[in-house]
Amino acid sequence: MLLVEFREETRGPFMYDNTRALMYEMRAAGIEHRSDTPEDDTNVFDTVRVGWAGAHVPRVTILIRVNDRGAHLETLPLGEVAPEMRAQALEEINALNGEYRWLKYVIDESAMLTCESDVFLVPEVAGLFGIAAMGRMFDTLDEVYPRLAGLLR
């Protein structure tokens, strides 16, 4: 069940066609989302935000950053890796990156764990591919979160 706020807003004329197509299909599918793209944005990327909580993973937010060729999906931080667990966490995310090659888990310099994915999006298939990539990310996060939870503080 998706648990996010929905906000209909005036769209600027510069939003990418694949962003509009993605949001249209999300709305048609009943997926609540929010556009974080300001009207006066230079539109290097449009950003669509979607949140969800699963059976194992607590509430997680995915930012879908769209440009004219595709989208980069990235979670807000899933948590901070405990300093004493860093080596074990790196081994675990390397294993996950091998098992789930369409997703990439990353620990940044501040020890925050995120998950990323890239998807090709053209307007004709933006809804289908974008929703599928988002669903795959949410489902995989829910499946693997028990392996990650003990590494986070």
Summarize pLDDT for 27-38 with one digit per residue, the tens. 999 999 999 877
Residue 51 lies in a domain: yes
List beta partners, residue 49: 34, 63
Asked whether residue 30 is domain-assigned, the answer is yes
Residue 6 lies in a domain: no
Which pair of tokens denotes residue 84?
Answer: 């004493």
Q: What pTM was computed for the model?
A: 0.84
Domain membership of residue 22 (yes or no) is yes
Per the structure, the complete domain to which residue 36 belongs is given by: 17-75+116-149
Q: State the amino acid at position 106 in one-letter form.
A: V
pLDDT at 2 over 50: no
Mean predicted lDDT score pLDDT of the chain = 88
Q: Quick one: what percent of the chain has pLDDT higher than 90?
A: 75
> What crossing angle do the helices spanning 126-149 and 17-28 adopt, rounded to 10°?
70
Average confidence (pLDDT) over 127-143: 95
Residue 133 lies in a domain: yes
Q: In the beta sheet, which residues pair with residue 81?
A: 152
Reported as a pLDDT band with limits 50, 70 and 90, residue 39 is low
Number of structural domains (the chain) is 1
Residue 131 in any domain: the answer is yes
The two most distant CA atoms of the chain are separated, in Å, by 49
Please, which pLDDT band fits residue 40 given cuts at 50, 70 and 90? low
